[in-house]
Each structure stands twice: as C-alpha cells, then as structure tokens.
Amino acid sequence: MTRLKKYSALAIVMAVLTTGACQQAVDTTTSDGIDTAKTSKYLSQPLISSIYTADPSAHVFEGKIYIYPSHDIETGTPENDNGDHFDMRDYHVLSMDSVNGKVTDHGVALSVKDIPWAGRQLWAPDAAFKNGNYYLYFPVKDKNDVFRIGVATSNNPAGPFKPEPSPIAGSYSIDPAVFTDDDGTSYMYYGGIWGGQLQRWSNGKYDANGSKTDSGKENEPALTAKVAKMSGDMLSFDGPVKDVIILDRDGKPLLTKDYDRRFFEGSWMHKYNGKYYFTYSTGDTHFLASAIADNPYGPFTYQGTIMEPVQGWTTHHSILEIKGKWYLFYHDTQLANKTHLRNIKVTELTHRPDGTIEVITPIRK
C-alpha cells in the first residue's frame, strides 16, 4: 500500500463521514446548507459551500479579507500519487469583511485557457500587493507537463488578472507563497515533492524520467522548499534560488525518512516578534509544522507541529494577522468527503510566550 493510500484511509477513519453536497447559493456563510448535527466533530465550518475550495491564501487588502484558493472540480480523473485528479481549471477570489463573516465569491479571476504557456492543472496560488498593483502567483503545468510558476496582474484585488506571456524565469514546481518584509523586500517560497515534481530537479534541470517520489533516499537530508528574492516589479526573481534549510534542535538537517517533520509542500511565511516563521505541510503524514529563523533565508530550526491532520489527503494553509489576532486558514473534505473536493476553513492561531505556536486540533475527539 502506498503512503498516500495508507494515510488517506487513516484520515477518513479518524473523521466523521459526511454526506453534504455543495449548495448553489450565490453568497454563503458558515451555516449555509450545513446540518449542524453532523458537523460537531469539526473545529471549524466551511467558509463557502457554493463551490469547492482548497489551499487558501489569505490577505488583508483595502480593509477586507481576500482569499485566493484553489478551485476544486469533479473531472472523473482516477486518484494517483501524481495528483492528476486535482485538475483545477480556474481561480475564484473570495472576500469577507470579518473572520467567519459573509463570503462573497467574485467569480473567475484567472482561467487556464487565458494563460498562453499553460497546459493543465492550476494548483495552489498566492497573491501580493506592491507598487499599486495586485499580483497573483500560480503554478500550472506547461505544454510539456512540467510545473512552472506564473504571475498575473490586476488593479483590483478581486481581479480579473492578466497573466504574463511566460512563466517566471528560473521557476519550477508548485505552491508559491510571497512574503514581504518590513523593509519592503519580497521573497517567494515554493516547492512540493511527488506530484509537485521537486524531486525531478535535483540536478538543476528537469528530469522527465526522474523518480515520482522521494523514496530511496531515506537517510539523506530531505528535499526542501526553495526561496528567491523578488525583483522590484514583482515579476521575476532577483538573484539565485536558495534552499530553505530546516534543522532539528541539534543543528542537524531533517532527513527524508522523518515523515512527521520534513518539508513536503505548502510553504508559508509570517513574521512575529522579529522572528521569521516558515510553516509547511509534511504532506503524506498530514501535519502542518513550523520552523523559526532570524532572517527570511534561514536556516530555520524546527519547532513542532502547529496543526494535526485534517480529514482528507492534503493539508495546506496560510497564516494572517487580523486586527491584532492571528488566524490559520486551511481546508478539509467535510462537505464532499472526497480527496479532490475540498472546502476552506479558518480558526484562531496562538503564539505561546516562548514564541512557538499552540497545536490546533481540527477534528474533535
């Protein structure tokens, strides 16, 4: 049994099976169409149920909370370790005035058919604001089925976004997350193994015949995320791409076999009390983890789990400060109970006095 199938089955057993389906309301709230008698096991409720959403990237723009998620759809593609069943074809931008408030779906902000170089699979995006413009960063497979990272621009946080004619030079893999530091410098963190193809770039060039997983290297330092400084216009990298080094408390790199702690995908960066928090998904073991550094390049010291497994195969998040409180946006499969049809949620996040993050339990015992 592959780790995907093993852990996917475990997550389903742990969770309460639900039978709710997406409702077709134009605007939805957390209680729209949801039977509360069947939801008490979950820490939080879906923010929207009119469409399936995942991988929420949350930001405060123009005094509102804007969320840039993946848009899950049913395509009938069989599930596999490469993630071909995640065949998303556009992005919707969501907004709300307050946490757990009424959600507005602003419709399609960018479609795969509008991206000249794209082939298929629009995976988890992120957004940023600078120079009076809004930027949408997205991974999509090119016409050779290789994941690259593109950028699209708009003068409105809700879009629509106009894509650049080619991907960001030097970019590859998935899950872009853009962090802007206090001095105005922006950095992109990205990468994901298995279906995210990061393991196929070990020699600096894409190997189409490379391993589909990271197996066979269990006692070696784990593959890790990448970080690159962004150019002033936010459209390209300004300098070399570097590894995001994650060390244990003894200063040793996390190993491939350390499935509960090592990086898999889903990078995010936030800053708290002068420290840089690199948070990420362990992927096939379904934890969200944190590592802390004194600068945006690291090295980062592993601090622990910040969220236990959700229902479903994937876990992906963002962390945002809103009016003095911190929140974690995430997803699970409560509405559909299907791996590839997910729904986004939000819950409060707490930094402990020592700077570490309290563990969030998304499924109540």
Query: In this structure, is the dihedral angle defined by the CA atoms of residues 139, 143, 144 and 150, taken in order, positive or negative?
Result: negative
Please identify which of the residues 55, 72, 214, 332 carries the catalytic annotation.
Answer: 55
Q: In 112-232, which ranges are E strands?
A: 118-122, 126-130, 133-142, 147-154, 162-163, 177-180, 186-190, 226-229
Query: Pairing between strand 288-293 and 52-61?
Result: unpaired
Please identify which of the residues 105, 126, 214, 265 carries the catalytic annotation.
Answer: 265
Cα gap 126→138, rounded to integer Å = 7
Which two tokens mark 160? 């629509």
- Assess whether 308 carries a catalytic annotation: no
Spatial CA neighbour of 126 closest among 170, 82, 171 = 171
Q: Are 294 and 315 in contact (CB under 8 A)?
A: no
| Residues near 117 by beta carbon (within 8 Å), at least 6 away in sequence | 142, 143, 148, 150, 165, 166, 167
Q: How many CA atoms lie within 13 A of 116 on its CB side?
A: 7
Spatial CA neighbour of 196 closest among 231, 268, 147, 232 = 147
Q: Are 196 and 173 in contact (CB under 8 A)?
A: yes
- Assess whether 62 carries a catalytic annotation: no
The length of the chain is: 365
| Residues near 354 by beta carbon (within 8 Å), at least 6 away in sequence | none
Cα gap 180→234, rounded to integer Å = 11
Which phi-psi region, left, alpha or beta, contains residue 85 (left: φ > 0; alpha: ψ -120 to 50)?
Answer: alpha
Instruction: Give me the amino acid identity at 127.
Output: A
DSSP secondary structure letter of residue 72? E
Q: How many CB atoms lie within 10 A of CB 183?
A: 5
Q: Which residues are catalytic?
A: 55, 265
